[in-house]
Structure 1
């Protein structure tokens, strides 16, 4: 039995359920939230502001979507989701301009917000300051309200265990829509208490939200790159509502995850693309396990969105309380080395149990990189090189056409949905 360093008490999984106590062994204790250097975070935010991967890697995004759409069932699922999701995104954007319906009382409404969020089905809810340092450059001033209500909605358990599969992709999409609708209800509730509320749909996020979720005490960053929450691990979908309401901020918590993931490593070991780093590095002022994007996206594109790092997380499967209690009792990671946790099937490749990984051919990971114009110029150089350095008029015309297409692209979330659906912006 390991020495327990401290215990974390969290609300029950559902509204009205008893609180849950999570033991954190002393050997796993670290800092609340995540190790970071504030000055470095500030500097990177100022000198190298973040930008959406939908822009910086648009070439591979378009490539991946074309590849996924070759799967007829997945293509129909995506189109249906995009049609339904578009209305939710537009409704969420409109909340930025909605005025409160009554005069505020001036009372702190933190607990009222949390109770309502739980009533609406959110698994986790916490409140912190909206942090502009984690904002995409293209989303600057998208929201002007100072407080961030961080909301995590649980993705259904059973379909998630079938990852990668069509069923898992269906529930993944439907969870985003369900939480989007719930967010609109929460925003209306805050308006009814006399305050403004800007609902930010997850598909229209202003930047990477996990830092604010960690600051609000809802979990810690896992080796898989997801937020690991107490009840569902990484099996959540995240969104925010910003507000000017009278609220009290929550505080970051040390759940022991920062150290536990280095012991566990199941997601790292089971990733078919070998896209997860075993060791932590410092990145933009944070200490974390960095995802290797170039080895992740090709697998996601070819295998139903992948998600194996979600499926194989023991905290997703068994819950943080059970995992930490088992570790405290035995020094072992619950489920590690078992087919129940680690096994998965890849279409056309077969089943892979503990210790088994697929092998791909040399060209499997080849994909375009960067923006559309970046990729166009790289193709231009390759063509010229292949021609012995000769630049033909045809090559120049092709480059001009691609640059023109790039300049005409829109990177707004709704505009990209419209483009992928090949419809006019007012089709709904």
Structure 2
């Protein structure tokens, strides 16, 4: 039995469920939240502000969509999601300008808001300051209010265990829509309390939300790049609502996950694209496991959105309390090395059990374009000219011109992308 450094007590997953206790062995203790250097975070936010990959990686996004659309069933699922989700996004965009419908009492409304969120089915609710350092450049002028209500909605267990699959993609999309609709109800509730609220749609993000969830004590950043929450790990979809309500902020928590992921490594070992890094690095002022995008998206595009790093995470499958209790008692990672946790099947490739990984040719990864459409057009022109010994033909210029015009005419807005028969 390992020596326990501290215990974390969390509310039950749903209203009426018993509290859960998460033992954190002393050897896994690090810091509440995540190790970070605020000066570096500030500097990167100022000098290299974040932007959504829908813009910075538009070329690979369009390429991935063209690959995915060869799977007829997946294309229909995505188009249905777009049609159902578009009005939710549009409604969320209007919330920041809506006036309160009630009169503020001046009392702290933290518990009232949290109770309403739980009533509507959110499994994790926490409040922290909205961190503008993580706002996408294209959304800088959109965020209005200082407090971020962080919300996590469970993705159904059974379909998620079939990742990568059509069923898993269906529940992935439907969970976003369910929590998006519930978020609009929360905004109305806050307005009724006499305050303003702005819904940040989970499919129209203003930035990466995980840093604020960590600050609100709702989990830790995992080696997979997902937020690992106490009850369901990465098997949830997250969103935030910002408000000017009179609320109290929560604090970050040391769940032991920052160190545990270094011990576990199941997602790192099982990633079919070898896109997850074994060791942590300092990136934009934060110590984390860095994901290698160029090895991730090609697999996601060809294999039903992939998500294997979610499927094989023991926290997702068994819950943080169960996994940490097992580790404290045995020094072992629950499920590691078993087919139950680590096995998966790739369409057309077959089944891969513990220790087995698919093999892809180099071209599998190298054919994916990078950057936005305009930059990729220029890279193509340079490549063609180089292969021609430095000569630039009229045909090359005409092709470059067409690609450049296409890129410059593309919408940078999520709704606009959906209207172009694209998807979020």
Q: CA deviation at 1:257?
A: 0.2
| Alignment match, 1:388 | 389
Partner-residue secondary structure (3-state), 1:420: coil
Q: CA deviation at 1:407?
A: 1.1
Q: Quote the Cα distance in structure 2 between the aligned partners of 1:229 and 1:46.
A: 30
Q: Quote the Cα distance in structure 2 between the aligned partners of 1:349 and 1:408.
A: 38
Q: Quote the Cα distance in structure 1 between the aligned partners of 2:257 and 2:168.
A: 25
| Alignment match, 2:404 | 403
Q: Quote the Cα distance in structure 2 between the aligned partners of 1:102 and 1:153.
A: 27
Superposed CA offset, 1:318-371 (max 9, x none): 000000000000000000000000000001110000000000122111200001
Q: CA deviation at 1:291?
A: 0.1
Q: Quote the Cα distance in structure 2 between the aligned partners of 1:273 and 1:91.
A: 37
**Which consecutive segments of 4 or more residues in structure 1 shift more than 6 A?**
none
Superposed CA offset, 1:143-183 (max 9, x none): 11010000000100000000000000000000000000000
In structure 1, runs of 5+ residues without a counterpart are: 423-428
In structure 2, runs of 5+ residues without a counterpart are: none
Q: 2:65 touches 2:422 (CA, 8 Å); kept in 1?
A: no
Q: Quote the Cα distance in structure 2 between the aligned partners of 1:96 and 1:408.
A: 29
Partner-residue secondary structure (3-state), 2:421: helix
TM-score (normalised: structure 1): 0.98
Superposed CA offset, 1:357-390 (max 9, x none): 0001221112000010111001111111222211
| Alignment match, 2:296 | 296
Equivalences for residues 405-424 of structure 1 within 5 A: 405-420=406-421
In angstroms, what is the RMSD of aligned CA positions? 0.8
Q: 2:339 aligned with 1:369, yes or no?
A: no
Q: 2:214 touches 2:221 (CA, 8 Å); kept in 1?
A: yes
Superposed CA offset, 1:55-89 (max 9, x none): 11100000000000000000000000011111100
Q: 2:96 touches 2:198 (CA, 8 Å); kept in 1?
A: yes
Q: Quote the Cα distance in structure 1 between the aligned partners of 2:97 and 2:321.
A: 41
Partner-residue secondary structure (3-state), 2:420: helix
Equivalences for residues 7-46 of structure 1 within 5 A: 7-46=7-46
Q: Quote the Cα distance in structure 2 between the aligned partners of 1:142 and 1:414.
A: 15
Q: Quote the Cα distance in structure 1 between the aligned partners of 2:347 and 2:403.
A: 34
Q: Quote the Cα distance in structure 1 between the aligned partners of 2:388 and 2:20.
A: 67
Q: 2:203 aligned with 1:203, yes or no?
A: yes
Q: CA deviation at 1:421?
A: 5.3
